[in-house]
Amino acid sequence: MQLEVIGVGGAGCRIADAIRAAEPADHSFLTDVFAFDTDADDLARTVIPESHRFQYGEDASDPDAGLERGLAIGQESVDELLGALEGGRGTSLAADAVLLTVGLGGATGGGTAPALVAALQRRYDAPVYVLATLPADREFDAEAETSSAGHRTSDHADDGPPRPDAAANAIESLERLDGLASAIIAFDTDAWLRPGEGLVDGRDRCNRNLATRVAAVFASGGDSDGAVAQTVIDTSDVRRILGDESAIVTLGYGEQTVETSGSRFGLGLLPSEPDVETSEAVSAIETVVRKGIRGKHTLECDPVTAERGLLIVGGPPAWLNRRAIAEGRRTLESAIGGSGILGGDAPRPDGDRVFAAVVFAGVKSDRLEELRAAAD
Ligand SMILES: Nc1nc2c(ncn2[C@@H]2O[C@H](COP(=O)(O)OP(=O)(O)OP(=O)(O)O)[C@@H](O)[C@H]2O)c(=O)[nH]1
């Protein structure tokens, strides 16, 4: 699926940068990547080309101004932002979908996203997905100076500005996006920071992890360098799983480095496929599928709450054992409570790892309930 990515606000622009960096050289899935921010300094730190960067409104980061001000700036600026998109890439949308990336908890991203998503939905006949981070407890709760693993955050840890309203802002932004966004892919920053690690110190690693998962899901369709998938996951499959009713989505992922011949052409000029023991290939796929389904998700949830699920197993073609992939699909089918399951493979002739990307759509999450309680 070809995506147009629009990063809004500090987190949104950093995540857009990370997704751009994670795009596989042999398997592009991005048409354009834009960075929009009210803060000129933050914007200048992205590596997105100037033609695709845009500063708008006034700086909304004054914590006293609050989300209301951010929402107002979003409403006032939406035509300007659509103009910036069309100035950067022309009037028509080349992508199959838009992915708006945003950190919820502040004023700019969470304030602009609802108005911008609504405007994009009106203007284009393509789904508009939102990728939203949820704030960490320590940003809004002075008592929560411990990470989720129970270790005290180091005195030197840099958590950025305190945001006492972060939980309330995030919940309000999510409620406003409900019914507007085609789906909302959530990332729980609190669960991804390491013990004692500050948000500023850990955010680039969090963003890389998130971007790897996004790339694994959205770059799955089509052929790679002449290698044909046995079961292709195409744009309509991804759309079917994500849905168009603002489902909360979480992504799982597992990978394992595997032996390859080093060069696709061996010592001679003829293409050579390394010999892979069936049992090794099956075991690698079982391992990555288990991690994808039962390992850490971008937002923790019990898979049984998911209404729909997607499994993509990728890697060097010789490792993509058809039976093991079919078994992985059955494992996903029995893990989720709903009945909408799709599975496919993504051959990567030049890759050195086997991976499983898992999408759970329509999930219920305790973390969202915790943030709701903190917002009250
Ligand atoms: N995962 C992740 N979360 C981030 C990152 N930066 C900030 N956040 C989270 O995103 C929330 C919003 O932060 P920003 O994106 O900087 O805020 P903004 O949308 O620019 O809004 P204002 O700064 O209030 O104008 C914060 O409360 C953090 O929880 C990042 O790089 N990665």
Tell me: do 209 and 255 sit in the same domain: no
Number of domains in the chain: 2
Domain containing residue 116: CATH number: 3.40.50.1440
Rounded CA gap, 74 and 107, in Å? Answer: 10
Tell me: do 256 and 208 sit in the same domain: no
Whole-number pLDDT of residue 265 = 47
In this structure, what are the phi and psi dihedrals at residue 130, rounded to the nearest 5 degrees? -115, 135
Ligand 1 center–CA 123 separation, angstroms: 27
Tell me: do 282 and 215 sit in the same domain: no
Tell me: do 312 and 176 sit in the same domain: no
Tell me: do 259 and 330 sit in the same domain: yes
Closest CA to 129 of 1, 41, 18: 1
In this structure, what are the phi and psi dihedrals at residue 183, rounded to the nearest 5 degrees? -155, 160
Tell me: do 254 and 308 sit in the same domain: yes
Ligand 1 center–CA 9 separation, angstroms: 7
Here the ipTM equals: 0.99
Best mutation site among 36, 64, 199 for ligand 1 pocket (most ligand atoms within 8 Å of CB)? 199
Span 6-24, pLDDT tens digits: 999 999 999 999 999 999 8
Tell me whether residue 368 is in a domain: no
Tell me: do 52 and 184 sit in the same domain: yes
Closest CA to 103 of 183, 209, 12: 12
Tell me whether residue 71 is in a domain: yes
Tell me whether residue 291 is in a domain: yes
Whole-number pLDDT of residue 248 = 98
Q: At residue 153, does pLDDT exceed 70?
A: no
Span 110-130, pLDDT tens digits: 999 999 999 999 999 999 999
What's the predicted TM-score (pTM) here?
Answer: 0.94
Tell me whether residue 298 is in a domain: yes
107 lines ligand 1 (CB under 6 A): yes
Domain range for 276 is 249-361
Domain containing residue 323: CATH number: 3.30.1330.20
Tell me: do 151 and 77 sit in the same domain: yes
Tell me: do 117 and 258 sit in the same domain: no
